[in-house]
């Protein structure tokens, strides 16, 4: 081992390097989501296919109309456990051999439950599409939900909640919902449920949720990949057709209801070297006419590095590794995360004061035309770049469907981002940027930060223990 | 299967690899510098990473946040990362802007020092210290690897410390350090430019010449320190007093680096042990005996004469860490004693093949993979050929490699037992 020479003894100064002139970049081309072909199969399934030439992987997402709003409050998380238990035993496999069967065809398996419904996504090499659909059909139609495996999944979920609550970010996310969302709305609780709801959950609840909710409503199947030689509707119908018939109407959304501030909620994390902050108020959902304009506002306020908040809190002050603003949607109704980030403990109060000052300033004057153009160029460019893989495209289409939007809504949203006028964005900033009714969650060393938070005089300061 | 990458070298030593792929109208650009935390001087841990931040603070023709602003204004994504072995900078941009990305990379490779000043350094030092707090100090188990590497490798070994470095050393970093570091390591002779996407090989190479051709730089960047070292002699167990949500065991071994035949066998071994729901440890410890909430394992893919293999096991509430430890040890020993089944090795191969398909499903995945291949193995297709090497691994080679490298007396272990 030799670590004695990690650099040359004498490094010459560099001669004056010439650099080429800065290249001029041409104007962007319009963009559209790859065409989505939506057809109703004989069984009643709605099949959405995206033909993506030359892709090696194919993604299938089955979206069942079983949103978390269908879960009784006392059984919150039953959808998540049901989705996760689908592959723990079927008519032809136990959990171990099902996992081995997925491995043999190079497939991954990801179940989830959200406000858009229960989703199972499987991706695999194209040549294994039919084999993958067989496994999807088996899991969705013939799960055995072994008692012991359901109990284990519940136990693991409870353990992971403990893990989540031990991280500042996880604690902040759970606390935020608990203190900012109305207690009678499902979003008040985590999508995966709480320790109490998990403790109450039985195998019978899972069996009933599967039979009464997952299998009774409308089903969308999204397939994305190199499908030029595949009769997608026929293939999907042959494998999953038994999911097609419905015995009830589609579920209705329950619009998000929030508890307005202003107030600051402190979650004690003794000894924390940083404070995890969230600043939130209601925001436009994906249906809102000013959704695109408000997304541009969020980018100007808290997009990466060049945003107003990062410019001062990171690049000028060095208080944080980074702060972000975002919009979150709950099928109907949404929230505007004005700021989210971790701040050096001694700077917590000042950081929040600066967030407030910059939100108010942006609400007052609105973004400049240059900021609007920059945000539009950025978002209209990066959204297509994020949709490179079959899986990302299938997920985006399923997300649109889960929000009751047309599958190709992303194209419309992108055009709205591109064509937003500064006046629209200024109005959106005035409408959605307020600091008078925000809820602030601060996960940190309460004894250290509370005096500074009280001194902000920004609504009552209360403690919360998630 | 996408077109093969083509590698060439410019007159100034910059290696350029181009992989045409016209599926989406975008180009991924990566500049890989052969400098990471293993190259750091004593007393300056964390410097390579701090320096990476300084690379985003402007250069002769780019102002403070100009690099980010320029890429964002064309709808591109960008970032940089620092690891043990290398530092990389990358952008994915619409095709129309790929020359701009090259120009920005070239401006900082050539003229960073024109813009580097004390306020930049002081600000980014604070940002990096907050990065350390956020990602390490304020997270449960956040300093596990840092603690383990201090006992896995002797003092003075290039992998004794992590890229994030210590607060003390970050405080000590000076502007003079930054000047010397740049002049030593940030040279076209020490870099690989990798392009993947909607362009031809000729377009890529010509654009690289235009942007980077005028840059000179240290023609003899220092060789990486030789970290060659065999298995640990004896097992050491550290016990953390950190209060954690669940008892956990992190264990590590020193194993041969990527490129060594045994490394391939060990990659397969960790798939058999902990790769997915049908692996031995998940089946037994998580699903059957319900001792573990989660088990994971694998290698870090380090190349400096040695790599690190790990198994991490976290107990289910109410269960015992020592009991879980026995099960983990038994499964490692069983793999070392008798070859896995053909079916296990086939499944491991399919999982690994799938990983490759995921890597090359994105332009950035391919650009990074090719840069790594050229920089470390002088072969852009190193990653693409991993499947052939891994498929050649036999059950006997798996157990032989486990017996040689994953012995119970060669470990560094960190236990967390102080449960909240």
Tracing tokens 């008519």 back to the chain, one arrives at A91
> Which pair of tokens denotes residue A367?
């973004």
CA distance to A97, B3, B26, B210, B362, per residue, from A28 (Å): 50, 26, 12, 23, 21
3-state secondary structure of B318: coil
Distance CA B6, CA B102 (A): 18
Quick check: A160 and B293 CB within 8 A? yes
Query: In angstroms, how far is CA A283 from the centroid of its own chain?
Result: 15
Provide the β-strand partners of residue B311.
Answer: B251, B297
CB atoms within 10 A of CB B253: 24
Quick check: A320 and B130 CB within 8 A? yes
CA distance B256 to chain A (A): 15
Is residue B162 a contact partner of residue B146, using CB atoms and an 8 Å limit?
yes
CA distance to A292, B9, B349, B395, per residue, from B310 (Å): 45, 37, 20, 20
The string of DSSP letters for A161-214 reads: HHHHHHSHHHHHHHHHHHHHB-TTSGGGS-TT--HHHHHH--HHHHHHHIIIII
Q: Which residue of A has its CA nearest to B36?
A: A6
State residue A209's pLDDT score: 98
| Phi/psi-derived region of residue B12, left when phi > 0, alpha when psi is between -120 and 50, beta in every other case | alpha
Beta strands, E only, A334-413: 334-344
3-state secondary structure of A97: helix
> Which pair of tokens denotes residue B388?
């052939």
> Which pair of tokens denotes residue A64?
């069942």
Residues A433-443, mean pLDDT to the nearest whole number: 98
Distance CA B9, CA B11 (A): 7
Nearest Cβ partner for B217 among A14, A52, A272: A14
Is residue A343 a contact partner of residue A274, using CB atoms and an 8 Å limit?
yes
pLDDT tens, position by position, A190-233: 999 999 999 999 999 999 999 999 999 999 999 999 999 999 99
Range scoring the smallest mean pLDDT among A4-8, A183-187, A289-293, A303-307: A4-8
Q: Which residue of B has its CA nearest to A316?
A: B123
State residue A17's pLDDT score: 63
- Statement: residue A115 has pLDDT above 80: yes
Confidence bin at A117 (pLDDT 50/70/90):
very high
pLDDT (tens, 9 = 90+) of chain B, 420 residues, equals 678 999 999 999 999 999 999 988 999 999 999 999 999 999 999 999 999 999 999 999 999 989 999 999 999 999 999 999 999 999 999 999 999 999 999 999 999 999 999 999 999 999 999 999 999 999 999 999 999 999 999 999 999 999 999 999 999 999 999 999 999 999 999 999 999 999 999 999 999 999 999 999 999 999 999 999 999 999 999 999 999 999 999 999 999 999 999 999 999 999 999 999 999 999 999 999 999 999 999 999 999 999 999 999 999 999 999 999 999 999 999 999 999 999 999 999 999 999 999 999 999 999 999 999 999 999 999 999 998 899 899 999 999 999 999 999 999 999 999 998
Residues in B touching A152 (Cβ below 8 Å): 287, 290
Best probe of the B interface among A16, A385, A443, A465, by most B CBs < 10 A, is A385
Quick check: B140 and A3 CB within 8 A? no
State residue B3's pLDDT score: 84
State residue A5's pLDDT score: 33
Distance CA A20, CA A108 (A): 46
State residue A4's pLDDT score: 34
Nearest Cβ partner for B100 among A25, A99, A104: A25
CA proximity to A106, closest of A137, A82, A135: A135
State residue B208's pLDDT score: 97
pLDDT tens, position by position, A128-159: 999 999 999 999 999 999 999 999 999 999 99
Quick check: A56 and B39 CB within 8 A? no
pLDDT tens, position by position, B169-216: 999 999 999 999 999 999 999 999 999 999 999 999 999 999 999 999
Percent of chain A scored above 70 by pLDDT?
96
Quick check: B183 and A14 CB within 8 A? yes
CA proximity to A300, closest of A370, A210, A229: A370
Residues in A touching B72 (Cβ below 8 Å): 303-304, 306, 374, 377-378
Best probe of the A interface among B204, B277, B315, by most A CBs < 10 A, is B277
Nearest Cβ partner for A13 among B125, B183, B420: B183
HEC string of A143-161 equals CCCCHHHHHHHHHHHHHHH
> Which pair of tokens denotes residue A299?
């980018």
- Statement: residue A10 has pLDDT above 50: no
Is residue A151 a contact partner of residue A144, using CB atoms and an 8 Å limit?
no
CA proximity to A362, closest of A299, A422, A296, A430: A430
Is residue B83 a contact partner of residue B161, using CB atoms and an 8 Å limit?
no
CA proximity to A164, closest of B146, B133, B321, B139: B139
CA distance B407 to chain A (A): 23
Quick check: B226 and A102 CB within 8 A? no
Confidence bin at A16 (pLDDT 50/70/90):
low
To 5 degrees, how large is the angle CA B90–CA B91–CA B96?
Answer: 145
Residues A45-55, mean pLDDT to the nearest whole number: 96
Is residue A224 a contact partner of residue A112, using CB atoms and an 8 Å limit?
no
Distance CA A463, CA A412 (A): 43
Residues in B touching A95 (Cβ below 8 Å): 277, 287
Burial group, residue A252, by CB count within 10 angstroms (0-12, 13-18, 19+): exposed
Residues in B touching A20 (Cβ below 8 Å): 103, 106, 210-211, 213-214
Report ipTM (2 d.p.): 0.93
State residue A18's pLDDT score: 60
> Which pair of tokens denotes residue A92?
């032809």
Distance CA A63, CA A59 (A): 13
Is residue B307 a contact partner of residue B153, using CB atoms and an 8 Å limit?
no
Quick check: B65 and A315 CB within 8 A? yes
Tracing tokens 């026929």 back to the chain, one arrives at A234
Q: Which residue of B has its CA nearest to A341?
A: B134
State residue A7's pLDDT score: 38
CA distance A386 to chain B (A): 9
Provide the β-strand partners of residue A329.
Answer: A334
Task: Report which of residues B408 and A7 the model is more confident about.
Answer: B408
Distance CA B29, CA B46 (A): 25
Tracing tokens 């996408």 back to the chain, one arrives at B2
Nearest Cβ partner for A96 among B96, B185, B283: B283
3-state secondary structure of B368: helix
CA proximity to B247, closest of B140, B145, B327, B133: B140
Distance CA B308, CA B317 (A): 29
Percent of chain B scored above 90 by pLDDT?
96
Distance CA B319, CA B25 (A): 53
State residue A31's pLDDT score: 85
Distance CA B56, CA B174 (A): 17
State residue A228's pLDDT score: 94
Best probe of the B interface among A7, A111, A147, by most B CBs < 10 A, is A7
Task: Report which of residues A276 and A12 the model is more confident about.
Answer: A276
CA distance A246 to chain B (A): 33
Quick check: B75 and A381 CB within 8 A? yes
Quick check: A379 and B75 CB within 8 A? yes
3-state secondary structure of A43: coil
Nearest Cβ partner for B130 among A97, A102, A321: A321
CA distance to A142, A229, B55, B132, per residue, from B84 (Å): 48, 46, 18, 16
Tracing tokens 């000729």 back to the chain, one arrives at B202
State residue A3's pLDDT score: 31
Query: In angstroms, how far is CA B395 from the centroid of its own chain?
Result: 28
User: Strand A37-40's sheet: what is its strand order?
Assistant: A37-40, A46-51, A219-225, A57-64, A117-125, A108-114
- Statement: residue A15 has pLDDT above 90: no
What predicted TM-score, i.e. pTM, was given to this entire model? 0.94
First to last CA, chain B: 51
Nearest Cβ partner for B157 among A1, A7, A316: A1
For chain A, how long is the longest CA-to-CA vector? 80
Is residue B342 a contact partner of residue B395, using CB atoms and an 8 Å limit?
yes
State residue B2's pLDDT score: 75
Best probe of the A interface among B211, B278, B295, by most A CBs < 10 A, is B278
Distance CA B57, CA A305 (A): 11
Distance CA B56, CA B31 (A): 14
CA proximity to A11, closest of B219, B85, B54: B219
State residue A449's pLDDT score: 97
């Amino acid at each position: 081992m030799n670590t004695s020479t990690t650099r040359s003894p004498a490094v010459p100064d560099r001669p004056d390097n010439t650099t080429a002139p800065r290249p001029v970049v041409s104007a962007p081309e319009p963009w559209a989501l790859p065409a989505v072909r939506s057809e109703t199969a004989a069984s009643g399934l709605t099949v959405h296919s995206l033909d993506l030439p030359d892709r090696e992987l194919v993604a299938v997402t089955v979206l069942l109309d079983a949103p978390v709003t269908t879960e009784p409050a006392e059984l919150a998380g039953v959808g998540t456990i049901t989705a996760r238990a689908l592959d723990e035993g079927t008519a032809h496999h136990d959990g171990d051999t099902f996992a081995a069967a997925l491995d043999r065809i190079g497939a991954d398996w990801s179940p989830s439950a959200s406000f858009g419904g229960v989703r199972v996504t499987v991706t695999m090499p194209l040549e294994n599409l039919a084999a993958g659909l067989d496994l999807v059909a088996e899991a969705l139609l013939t799960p055995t939900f072994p008692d012991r495996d359901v109990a284990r999944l519940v136990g693991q979920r409870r353990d992971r909640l403990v893990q989540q609550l031990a991280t500042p970010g996880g604690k902040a996310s759970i606390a935020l919902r608990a203190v900012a969302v109305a207690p009678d709305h499902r979003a008040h609780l985590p999508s995966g449920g709480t320790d109490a709801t998990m403790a109450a959950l039985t195998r019978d609840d899972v069996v009933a949720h599967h039979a009464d909710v997952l299998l009774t409503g409308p089903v969308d199947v999204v397939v994305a990949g190199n499908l030029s030689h595949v009769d997608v509707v026929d293939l999907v119908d042959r494998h999953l057709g038994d999911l097609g018939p419905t015995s009830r109407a589609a579920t209705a959304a329950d619009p998000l209801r929030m508890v307005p501030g202003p107030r600051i909620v402190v979650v004690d994390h003794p000894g924390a070297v940083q404070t995890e902050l969230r600043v939130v108020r209601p925001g436009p959902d994906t249906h809102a006419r000013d959704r695109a304009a408000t997304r541009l506002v969020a980018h100007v306020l808290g997009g990466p590095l060049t945003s107003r908040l990062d410019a001062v809190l990171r690049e000028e002050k060095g208080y944080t590794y980074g702060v972000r603003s975002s919009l979150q949607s709950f099928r109907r109704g949404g929230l505007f995360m004005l700021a989210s980030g971790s701040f050096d403990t001694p700077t917590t109060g000042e950081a929040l004061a600066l967030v407030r000052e910059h939100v108010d300033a942006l609400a007052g004057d609105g973004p400049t035309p240059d900021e609007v153009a920059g945000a539009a160029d950025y978002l209209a460019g990066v959204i297509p770049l994020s949709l490179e893989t079959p899986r990302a495209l299938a997920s985006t289409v399923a997300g649109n469907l889960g929000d009751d939007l047309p599958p190709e809504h992303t194209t419309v949203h992108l055009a709205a981002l591109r064509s937003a006028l500064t006046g629209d964005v200024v109005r959106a900033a005035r409408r959605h940027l307020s600091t008078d009714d925000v809820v602030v969650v601060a996960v940190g060393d309460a004894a250290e930060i509370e005096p500074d938070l009280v001194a902000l005089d920004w609504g009552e300061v209360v403690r919360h223990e998630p | 299967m996408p077109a093969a990458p083509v590698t060439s070298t410019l007159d100034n030593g910059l290696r350029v690899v181009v992989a045409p792929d016209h599926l989406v109208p975008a180009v991924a650009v990566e500049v890989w510098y052969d400098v990471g935390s293993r190259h750091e001087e004593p007393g300056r841990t964390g410097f390579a990473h701090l320096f990476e931040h300084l690379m985003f603070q402007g250069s002769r023709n780019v102002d403070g946040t100009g690099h980010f602003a320029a890429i964002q204004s064309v709808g591109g994504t960008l970032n940089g990362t620092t690891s043990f072995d290398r530092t990389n900078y990358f952008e994915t941009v619409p095709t129309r802007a790929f020359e701009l990305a090259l120009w920005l990379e070239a401006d900082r490779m050539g003229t960073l020092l024109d813009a580097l000043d004390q306020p930049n350094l002081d600000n980014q030092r604070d940002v990096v210290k907050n990065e350390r707090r956020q990602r390490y100090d304020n997270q449960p188990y956040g300093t596990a690897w840092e603690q383990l590497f201090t006992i896995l490798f002797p003092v003075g070994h290039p992998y004794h410390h992590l890229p994030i470095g210590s607060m003390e050393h970050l405080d000590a970093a000076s502007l003079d350090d930054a000047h010397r570091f740049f002049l030593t390591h940030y040279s076209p002779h020490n870099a690989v430019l990798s392009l993947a996407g909607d362009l031809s090989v000729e377009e890529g190479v010509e654009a690289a010449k235009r942007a980077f051709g005028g840059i000179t730089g240290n023609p003899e960047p220092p060789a990486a320190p030789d970290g060659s070292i065999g298995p640990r002699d004896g097992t050491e167990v550290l016990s953390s007093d950190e209060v954690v949500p669940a008892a956990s065991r992190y264990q590590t071994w020193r194993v041969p680096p990527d490129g060594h035949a045994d490394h391939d066998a060990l990659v397969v071994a960790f798939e058999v042990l902990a790769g997915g729901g049908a692996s031995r440890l998940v089946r037994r410890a998580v699903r059957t005996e319900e001792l573990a909430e989660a088990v994971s394992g694998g290698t870090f893919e380090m190349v400096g004469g040695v790599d690190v293999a790990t198994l991490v096991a976290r107990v289910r509430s109410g269960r015992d860490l020592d009991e879980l430890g026995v099960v983990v040890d038994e499964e490692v020993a069983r793999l070392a004693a008798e070859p896995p089944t053909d079916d296990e090795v086939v499944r491991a191969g399919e999982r690994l093949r799938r990983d490759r398909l995921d890597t090359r499903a994105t332009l950035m995945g391919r650009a990074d993979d090719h840069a790594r291949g050229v920089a470390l193995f002088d072969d852009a297709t190193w990653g693409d050929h991993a499947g052939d090497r891994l498929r050649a691994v036999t059950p006997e080679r798996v157990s032989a490699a486990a017996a040689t490298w994953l012995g119970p007396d060669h470990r560094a272990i960190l236990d967390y037992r102080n449960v909240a």
